[in-house]
Amino acid sequence: MTVERYIRLMAGTVVLISLALGYHGSPIFVSEWFLALTAFAGFNLAQSGITGFCPPAILFKKMGVPEGNGSCGGGKCS
């Protein structure tokens, strides 16, 4: 897996877990404040798309995760 795929996986997991913990109808509801984590993840995804700066990408690269080769260019992710 590449850095981009790990970031997508991490962001999706954060959003799903924070929604489960912040939504009243969820069986694992804790507090509505967990929805702020969902907003934070969305904000970080947006700023990363605009600026190209992504702190988790830096960490993953330092951990030795290979960078992608633009495999999602052209609408096909492999």
pLDDT digits (tens, 9 = 90+) for 16-64: 999 999 999 999 999 999 999 999 999 999 999 999 999 999 999 999 9
| pLDDT score of 70 | 58
Judged against a pLDDT cut of 60, whether residue 67 lies above it is answered with: yes
Domain for residue 42, yes or no? yes
Domain for residue 78, yes or no? no
**Residues 37-48 pLDDT 10s:** 999 999 999 999
| pLDDT score of 68 | 81
* Predicted TM-score (pTM) of this structure: 0.80
Domain for residue 21, yes or no? yes
Q: Could you tell me if 71 and 77 are in contact, meaning their C-beta atoms sit under 8 angstroms apart?
A: yes
Domain for residue 49, yes or no? yes
The Cα-based distances of 30 to 3, 15, 38, 40, 66 in angstroms read 31, 15, 14, 18, 37
The total domain count for the chain is 1
Tell me what the pLDDT averaged over the chain comes to: 89
